[in-house]
Amino acid sequence: MLIEQIIIMILRSGLMSKQRHTNADGSWYEGDWKNEKRHGYGTWIRPDGTKYAGEWVDDLPHGSGMLTMADGTYFKGEWKGGKRNGNGMLTYADGTTLSGTWLEGRYEGRHEQTTEKVDSCAELERTNWELQQKIAELEGGRQKKGARQITFAYLKRFNLVMGLLHFIQGSLMLYFALSIDQIKAFKTPVWSYFLEFNTDIMRLVTKPEQIGEVPFGLFVSFFLFLSALAHFIIVMPKTNSIYNRDLQKGINIFRWYEYSLSSSLMIILIAMLFGVYDIGALITIFILNASMNWFGLLMEKVNQYTEKVSWSPFVFGSIAGIGPWVVIIMHALGNADPAEVPWFVYAIIGSYFVFFNLFPINMILQYKKVGKWADYLYGERGYIILSLVAKSVLAWLVFSGVMQPS
């Protein structure tokens, strides 16, 4: 028995060792290592006082451990693969506690004040995310040269650049809409249809009445400015912290509210190009398209607390989004001579239809965690790029179309 214990100790001493590793940013780890990875028990500390002390497996917190924040808030409980998973208790600096079951870093318990407390976990989630970033650095597997890591700081800069690109294009379109006669003259009518009693035939008849005109170029610039405004709001200090906090929970409320306005305006302009002039139909198209985006927001809000993805909001949103296209296609196919429809109209509807459907594909890849989309921030960048390209293509196709000779 004694010989067996000695042999085990010799074997373990050959596989595991105690080391201290200090990073360039001043954070350090001291504890057990195995095969050049943290494995066993160890402590990781940042210069600001944030500290994790507990069990590690293959360079990740795994088992029992305690993560303490710089402000005194701490979580003590079970970890799995670098995330809180199992039973645990979160204690805030003011002494209040939140205990229960955690899954993949998210609180799953059912207690009073759950929503308030879970929202308050944002800072802890951010620290946990930073902890995993440090873990990745210590693995020794450096990213390939030229590869760009998507971080909150990167997305802030990216949003600023995208906002400037939208603003520049919106400004150019506004200038053209006000200075070039052909664009100024490109207007679509808006009609209202109501019932009126005809005394000659003694029955109700539909009476059309034009209630206005839409200066097309001007409205194209509006949805570009809406997008620019949303990006600029995101990079503001207070709103950027909200943006970053929500991204860690798999949510971007700014995106869905902006889309509900800008993309709905886009679809209305496309509908008018195909002859949808009824004010009632245009309002309905706007509401349906906005609802599709609100279902997108609901999709993210619902699934931040679920282990299995609930696709109901996605399905209902898709149904709402199909509605406007049914109306548009009916008007397009009902044209007596489709050959008379200008080429740029088909170019607009074809290109935008492609981009329009790439958005839900991006969402599916995010929730299926396919490849790089396993990182929510990668999908977020995808949304930003798709938004810029779709709106730019529509704006300049309209511009080139209205500039064609009559």
Please, how many CA atoms are within 13 Å of residue 274, restricted to the half-sphere of its CB?
26
Q: What backbone phi and psi angles, to 5 degrees, belong to 397? A: -65, -40
Cα–Cα distance, 186 to 180 (Å, whole number): 10
Using a CB cutoff of 8 Å and minimum separation of 24, what contacts does 240-244 make?
240/156, 244/126, 244/152
Q: What is the mean pLDDT of residues 208-214?
A: 88
Q: Which residue has the higher pLDDT, 81 or 345?
A: 81
Q: Which of 283, 370, 357, 349 is nearest to 322 (CA)?
A: 357
pLDDT at position 199? 77
Q: How far is CA 29 from the centre of its chain?
A: 34
Q: Out of 95-99, 353-357, 371-375, 398-402, pick the least confident.
A: 398-402
Q: Residue 86: is its pLDDT beyond 90?
A: no
Q: What is the mean pLDDT of residues 382-401?
A: 83
Q: Residue 121: is its pLDDT beyond 50?
A: no
Task: Give residue 131's pLDDT band: very low, low, confident or very high (50, 70, 90).
Answer: low
Q: 84 forms bridges with which residues in the sheet?
A: 79
Q: Which residue type does 393 have?
A: V
Q: How is residue 339 annotated by DSSP?
A: G
Task: Give residue 337's pLDDT band: very low, low, confident or very high (50, 70, 90).
Answer: low
Q: Residue 266: is its pLDDT beyond 80?
A: yes
| Secondary structure element (H or E) that encloses residue 119, with its range | helix 114-120
Q: Which residue type does 238 have?
A: K
pLDDT at position 168? 95
The bridge status of strand 203-215 relative to strand 97-103 is unpaired
User: What percent of the chain clears pLDDT 90, i.e. is strictly above it?
Assistant: 24
Owner of token pair 């609802």: 291
Cα–Cα distance, 327 to 285 (Å, whole number): 8
pLDDT at position 143? 43
State which CATH number among 1.20.1070, 1.10.60, 1.10.10, 1.10.1060 fits the domain covering 152-402: 1.20.1070
Q: Could you say which architecture CATH assigns to the domain 18-138?
A: Single Sheet (2.20)
Q: What is the mean pLDDT of residues 58-68?
A: 85
Alpha-carbon Rg for the chain, nearest whole angstrom, is: 28
Domain boundaries, the chain: 18-138, 152-402
pLDDT at position 161? 95
